[in-house]
Amino acid sequence: MLQARLKLHLIFIISHFLLAKPNPHTPALYVFGDSLLDNGNNNWLPSAARADYAPYGLNFPSPVLGRFTNGKTPADFLADYLGLPYPPPYASLFGPNNIGLPNPMPNTPLFKPDSFAGYNYASAACGILPLTGINTGKCYSFDEQIEMFRQTKESQLSTVYGDPTKLSQQLSNSIFLISVGSSDYIDNYFVPLSPSSKFHDAPKFAQLLIDRLSLQLKRLYSLGARKLLVTEVPPIGCSPTGVKPTKALMHKGECDEEANNIVSMFNKHLPFLLTNLTSTLQGSHVVLAHIYSTTYDVITNPSKYGLRDSTNPCCRTWFNGGLQCIPEQTPCSNPNEHFFWDGYHPTEAAFSIMATEFLYGSSACSPISLQQLVEL
pLDDT in tens, 105-128: 444 445 565 678 999 999 999 999
Residue among 184, 305, 175, 285 nearest 233 (CA): 184
The chain-wide mean pLDDT, for the chain, equals: 87
Q: How far lies 363's CA from each of 13, 113, 233, in Å?
A: 17, 36, 17
Backbone angles phi, psi at 325, to 5 degrees: -70, 145
Among 35, 141, 174, 310, the one annotated catalytic: 35
Residue among 317, 319, 369 nearest 338 (CA): 317
- pLDDT of 110: 56
Assigned CATH topology for domain 2-375: Rossmann fold (3.40.50)
| Residue 35 bears catalytic tag | yes
Among 269, 345, 352, 369, the one annotated catalytic: 345
- pLDDT of 307: 96
- Flag the least confident range among 112-116, 118-122, 344-348, 356-360: 112-116
| Residue 342 bears catalytic tag | yes
Among 34, 38, 256, 342, the one annotated catalytic: 342
Distance separating alpha carbons of residues 362 and 213, to the nearest angstrom: 26
| Residue 251 bears catalytic tag | no
- Total residues belonging to the chain: 376
Residue 49 has pLDDT above 70, yes or no: yes
- pLDDT of 114: 63
> Parallel, antiparallel, or unpaired: how do β-strands 285-289 and 365-366 relate?
antiparallel
